[in-house]
Structure 1
Amino acid sequence: MPNKYRPDIKIQKRFLQVSAISLPVISFIPVLDVILYIAPRIGLVEAFKIVLTTYTVGTAWIFTFLGSMLLILLIAMAKPTEKSTFAYLGLAITSGVIVTIAWSSHAGAVDPIIGIISDFIHLMAVSIWVGIVLVVGWCSLNYKRWLPFLSWFSVVAIGCLVATALSGLFLMDIMVSKYTDSWMVPYGQGLLIKHLFLIPLIFYALGNGIIVKYAITKNSNFNPIPWVRLEGFILLIIFTITSIYSQQSPPHGNYLSDEAVSPLFRLFHPGVIDASSTVGFAGSINTVYFLFLSVFLLGLMLWTFYKRASIIISLLFSGLFVTSLYFMLMLTVVVR
């Protein structure tokens, strides 16, 4: 972020180091899953060797590890007098690490060109958006220059949102045969819940760009930082959901069986589901009830902005809003 468009920010070097060290550690978890899956047949040492040298997920992780080591060294060597140079180098290395993660993704395995490119754009756009929100929300020393920041960040956030949405559509086209039918399996359930949480995310993003801006013009002592942190919390929830469902088998091709049905979906539809089953919609009085409840909860989310309520209360209303929408959809769904 250009200095003239941001509040005063201080990021501890230790935090950067811990973040860089965590990259190869956390990204190794999917590799370890594969290793433990094949280890009983060929032995643990042989499984390590085969996965790291012949499996895409293992080979990509080696490059993630190397990129992370470069990033750790860069952070350790960074000098205060050369911040700009080190920042651009760090950006280049981090972008390279994102490429390796996209390379090892499900989408990259299904379509090596469009899948990797779409996943890279998706991760990069989200990282820019989330990175700014988290850094400004948790590392700001004050809220000086907040109006210039909002004007600058609004353009960046819209660009990231468009890039995320378009790349997400490409990824869904690769990974999901039919979106609504995918709700019957765990991957599709995770995707649906993630998409529902995008609604409060966009709501708070617009609130930070419009309502908070208006509040600051009326009251120069208004503190906007808690609302940026709230947006960051919603983003972290979306990340958590993504990390869970992305470890499930994607619903691509002939994937459906009664055993593969999501336990969550089974709560609402306990009947027999097989490969010929599809999802349709039929409204009922319950649909109307939960629709009105969702609108009411959305109004309460808006009320928390005007009343400057605790962000915990806002987060609670957001969770209830998503839950209400989810129940509305699940009670509207019929399996044919």
Structure 2
Amino acid sequence: MNRYWTLADRPVGAWPDARTFELRDGPIPQPGPGQALTRTIYVSLDPYQWGYRRRGVEKPGDVCHARTVSQVVESRIEGLEPGDFVFNTNGWAEYGLMGEGVPRPGYMVPRRLDPAVGPISYAVGVLGMLGLTAYAGMVLQGDPRPGETVVVSAASGGVGQIAGQLARLRGAQVVGIAGREEKVRYVTDELGFDACVSHLSPTFAQDLKAACPGGVDVYFENVGGPVFEAVLPLFNPGARMTICGLIAHYGDDGGDAGAKERARAEARGVAVQNLFVGDYVESHHEAMLAELGPAVAAGKVRYRQDVREGLEALPEAFAEMLKGGNFGKMLVRVSPDPTLQVAVN
């Protein structure tokens, strides 16, 4: 049997709770022509998924959407064999189909993975959509230059940690914003940011101003709310801002927090761009891999994952991630990773 999570009902609260999801089971799907059956290994948990659910893109009864790393069990796709590893979108399920006729977001193109390139979990992280998101938002939109000051919110999270390191590699002064003290230390001590301040501090706005004595030239927005309010008065003329996410507002009812932030920043002369990673898949995915692949392999870009265990852990891990309880990119391993077993042996 195939176990999977669905929405129990259309979400009505600000944040998910025990009533939001339902664990079900059904027959393992059988692949048709041009399809493959895959066993899910890693499920990626990302803030945008809550927006899918609250806006009704995902319906009650649907398998909860997520990017995944899986292993092929049975294949009717030429060039794809049992045992191969793939990036796909099985969602919160133990098994799923990929290939012809399988619905998926248009920009999430399934592909075969080479474990020799890096850990297969990186395909939903630094060497996948997260890496491309950071690359598009920071390198292509933010365009940091040597000596400029770059601020990254949610700096220890999946996208933020990569975005800040990309700015540092380009010679910018990088200031992170994180939460609890161990995250703040990680951002400076491990990731190499020039400074990091805690949004939990009662003097957060003053701390950020002190860390950016020359103002802010590039802001990579992942949070919104009070974090944006602290950055806003620090923008320099000609500053650039990328809106990657607004996790502080994902539980809001009504309104467009992104539009409001954009208008207020633009009123100060800031060039603001919204970031949709799908716009960059065809044009810049290979360029991202060409830069991040060698940088990760050489240790020039560091990357932290927060991996939880078991299909049952998904709802709790998802809620924890939305509230900032994760430390690094949040993943759930729902079945054994054979590449790790090989490495151990």
Q: How does the TM-score come out when normalised to structure 2?
A: 0.23
- Which structure has the larger Rg? 1
Q: Which has the higher helix share?
A: 1
